[in-house]
A and B are shown apart, each in its own frame.
Chain A
């Protein structure tokens, strides 16, 4: 298993390099630059800025300067948030993004699985219908709208929870953002779990177990749950990377200090350093998560290990 993991990590390095290279050249080829704002800068000032960030060098020189920096652990400067390097911004925002994403992931996974099992066991009864309705709300309402609605209800009218911010960093500040982030994820997991569980409950080995007079709870936990989890586990990797990389809207709406928002705002501002830095971070994150899911999948389904 270790050898397998090591080979996977090694094979990820060229993928990361290809991603950086593509991102680097696409960014440089895109029209507009980091200093194209509402007002034109005087030529001398613009020349000073371009020299400061090596943008006056040929593009291949810029590329090698950047790759050399990355290999030595330097992701370079941000051209828009000048007081921080890209590495510093990621280091500051990462713990928060991880906390937000993992909290949403754990709660959504637990709630989604539980809801899926309950719906499957009560197929076509009222708990099933009620859960389907709640799940649908999570899927069809976009997160910016959900965020605004929750802020309005719980922040403005009821005043039960903060409508945003992270100054004191208390738990109540996490409730609304985690809800917005986790809801669609929980919805997808519950649908997967429901379908998978219904399928497993209809298989021969479960019928055999039932005919032996085994109790329902034991039958569910000991025999049905593990095989029913396989499609859910397949979704967990992409799901977690979605939660960790897709927190842009949630961080913006709630004014939270994660790195999610940097990716898009940096791209719009043509902040080359920050776009590339976050790209590298996300590529690494997705590769690691895919690896973890593969390992987990192999543990759940012994057949995978021998393929």
Chain B
């Protein structure tokens, strides 16, 4: 119906992101929201911050994952239609950060769902976050090609499943 080249261009030019705060101290959240302000204005690239996983292409996760909110994170991820990518923001989102050894912490986002790009920093600058999202867009285009061929990645995002791929 739509030429595949044009479709993939559209995917890259119109990423809608949903921002999920797992257990962040709000440092990363403020930096994510700073990207929407007139100074950075990510809408230049067609990026919209939507509040609905069913409309989103990119899941931006901040903060550590703990045993309580991993279900919510998984639920939000499962509600997103393919193709979709995940960006883990900050030290906590990437690995668990300084809370990694805490009794209630599972660790980084990649313990629960597959992560496509990591943005290190505590907290990362908005430029860094935009870079991380642009990196994830390349993956979105790749995944889009697979979706066009009818291949959907319905694997649970545990570490074992990711290493098995």
Do A and B originate from a single complex? no
Instruction: Please give the residue numbers on chain B whose beta carbons come within 8 Å of chain A beta carbons, in ascending order.
Output: none
